[in-house]
Each structure stands twice: as C-alpha cells, then as structure tokens.
C-alpha cells in the first residue's frame, strides 16, 4: 500500500496525491484483520522518501517499506532506509512518472549493494516486458517481485510469451503480488480473474504475497473500494490454507 501527504512535493504529469495517512490505513487494515503493512514508495515522490520514512518511523519495526532509488544513492542513504524497515526497491515501468528508459544500468549499478542488504527488486511492468526479466534476474542475483499479477490481466492471451517468462522467473526464485485487480481489465467483484490467480499461484507456490494497493491510485474516488474486496479474489481462487499463507507466513519471509 501507499501513504501520501498532500503538502509533500510531487512530480507533475500524473495524479495529484491527497493526504492518505498511515493512521487511516492502519484503521482500515485492522478492521480486515491486518496489523502489519508494506509501504511502497509512490512514483510521484521519486526518490524523496520523507513521507514513507515518517510513517515507518512512527512505529519502529512494525511495518516494512519498498523504495525508489537512483544509481548514485549513497551507502549511508541505503543504511538509513534499511534501518527504517525498507527491504526492496521498485522499478515502475507503467506510471508516466516512473522509470521510462532502459532499467538495466540502474539494476546493475544497485545490485551488489542490494545483495549485501538482502533486498529484492520489485517490478511493475506490462506483460509484454516480462520476457526480458528472467535474464535480468539471473544477472542481478536478486529476487524479483512482480507487481499486480505481473500484468497478466484479462487482455493477455491464455498462452504466449508472458506465461513462459513467468515460469522462468518463478524457477529463478521470483515472487509475485496478488494485487491490483482493477489494473487488469477486471471489474468488481473480479470473479473473471479467479482462474488467472490460481494459475499464477500454481507457478510461484510459496512465493506469492497479497497486496491491497490502498488507496487505489488512479481509480475513481467514489464510491470507495471496500478493503475486503481486494482480498476476496484470493480467498475465492485459492484453497484456504494456501490463501492463509499468502496473507501471513509468505510475506513475513519476503520482507524479513
């Protein structure tokens, strides 16, 4: 999920973030039985992590974070982020204010230092970019985490290079996030995605985690999406014991 402060500087050309605080999401998540969160740095804030760091430091050790980094980030900055709870960095190839150029130099520049800290690389990409990722994962020596079902939405064919790439990524140790249903050409209650969720979970096994993607950036503000609606497709698509592990034991392993 994400936290926002309307007073914080934001990149132009995308949505204008409104304040959505850690306290608000903690109340919302607690009502759904969730007590620990992963705060992902929004692309609109670039490498300015002040909003996320304030939230992580509010209750030291309770939550985790995923950062956005530049190739020239200092070791001191990485150590500061790690101490606050950050355990990965994000490459967003979908947002208009994300990483639009070739991400390979950035990944190669950061990989040695991220390996030392036990971090992962999180990718938000369109499905047609997946075939390039297995070789990058192998070269970087980092576990990859694929955002929002790796983009394998209803517009993606049931067979094709994306599925082969997912198999290769999973075999190489990648993880996947079961999240972002509204970004996958699906509508509430997302029943049409159940088969894809089950297929992806079968590929990745114990390396699946769930994400609420709160507060659902880029989606209509009204009516608000019920928090439970982001979990319901996982519970419907997977056996109860598998779904329970996706929600608790597996994220505890990934985010250490």
Euclidean distance between the first and final Cα of the chain, in Å?
17
In CATH, the architecture of 22-254 is Alpha-Beta Barrel (3.20)
Q: What pLDDT score was predicted for residue 41?
A: 98
Q: Which of 55, 79, 38, 47 is nearest to 4 (CA)?
A: 55
Domain definitions of the chain by residue range:
22-254
Per-residue pLDDT of the chain in tens (256 residues, 90 and over written 9): 999 999 999 998 788 899 999 999 999 999 999 999 999 999 999 999 999 999 999 999 999 999 999 999 999 999 999 999 999 999 999 988 888 889 999 999 999 999 999 999 999 999 999 999 999 999 999 999 999 999 999 999 999 899 999 999 999 999 999 999 999 999 999 999 999 999 999 999 999 999 999 999 988 877 889 999 999 999 999 999 999 999 999 999 999 9
What pTM does this model have? Answer: 0.96
| pLDDT at residue number 218 | 83
Q: Own/partner pairs for 132-138, CB < 8 Å, 24+ apart?
A: 133/165, 133/169, 133/174, 134/165, 134/168, 134/169, 134/172, 136/104, 136/107, 137/169, 137/172, 137/173, 137/174, 138/172
As beta bridge partners, residue 40 has 66
């Amino acid at each position: 999920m994400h936290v926002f402060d309307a007073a914080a500087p934001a990149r132009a050309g995308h949505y204008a973030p409104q304040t959505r605080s850690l306290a608000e999401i903690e109340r919302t998540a607690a009502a759904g039985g969730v007590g620990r969160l992963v705060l992902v740095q929004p692309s609109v804030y670039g490498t300015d992590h002040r909003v996320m760091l304030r939230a992580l430091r509010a209750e030291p050790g309770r939550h985790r974070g995923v950062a956005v980094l530049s190739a020239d980030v200092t070791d001191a900055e990485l150590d500061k982020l790690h101490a606050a709870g950050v355990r990965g960095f994000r490459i967003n190839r979908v947002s208009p204010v994300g990483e639009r150029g070739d991400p390979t130099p950035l990944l190669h520049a950061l990989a040695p230092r991220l390996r030392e800290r036990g971090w992962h690389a999180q990718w938000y990409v369109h499905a047609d970019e997946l075939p390039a990722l297995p070789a990058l994962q192998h070269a970087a020596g980092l576990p990859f985490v694929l955002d929002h079902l790796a983009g394998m939405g209803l517009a993606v064919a049931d067979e094709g290079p994306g599925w082969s790439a997912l198999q290769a990524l999973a075999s190489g140790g990648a993880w996947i996030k079961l999240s972002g249903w509204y970004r996958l050409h699906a509508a509430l209650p997302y029943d049409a995605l159940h088969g894809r969720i089950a297929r992806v979970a079968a590929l990745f096994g114990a390396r699946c985690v769930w994400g609420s993607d709160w507060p659902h950036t880029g989606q209509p503000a009204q009516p608000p999406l019920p928090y439970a609606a982001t979990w319901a497709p996982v519970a419907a698509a997977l056996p109860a014991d598998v779904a329970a592990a996706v929600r608790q034991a597996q994220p505890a392993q990934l985010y250490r």
